Amino acid sequence: MKVIIEDNNYLEKFFNHYPKYEEALKNKIYDEALIMINDRPHKIKTVSGCKYKDQTIFEYKIIIDKSFTCRAAYIILNNEVIFFYISTTLIKAEFTKLVQSLKGVTS
């Protein structure tokens, strides 16, 4: 499987707001997403009842260092893991509400 970080307004805004962490976060996603999916599936949750591009949305917490943690949402489509949203909102219920409000996400 190939890991992709989608080029969209949500991620562009996020990385513009946190430029200090952009490189580390992207590297962590590219380096560890498949390990999380294959070896630590218990750490991955679905975003209840939500779909993006007609695919179930999954999310997990990413810890960069003790001062920066976020949640990332992704789908699996055509043998690709596509990350499309990242937020520093760590509470699962609040993160789910944010994802539900995104353009292209259906319930």
Q: How many residues does the chain have?
A: 107
The pLDDT of 7-26, averaged and rounded, is 97
At residue 41, the 3 state secondary structure works out as helix
From the CB of residue 4, how many other CB atoms can be counted at a distance below 10 Å? 16
CA dihedral 7, 55, 33, 9 (to 10 degrees): 20
Q: Where are the domains of the chain?
A: 2-88
Report pLDDT for 67. 93
Q: Say if residue 107's pLDDT is above 90.
A: no
Over pLDDT 90: what percentage of the chain?
Answer: 97
How far is residue 78's CA from residue 101's CA, in Å, rounded to a whole number? 25
pLDDT tens, residue by residue, 41-93: 999 999 998 999 999 999 999 999 999 999 999 999 999 999 999 999 999 99
CATH number of the domain at 2-88, out of 3.30.460, 1.10.760, 3.30.160, 3.30.2310?
3.30.2310
How far is residue 45's CA from residue 95's CA, in Å, rounded to a whole number? 12
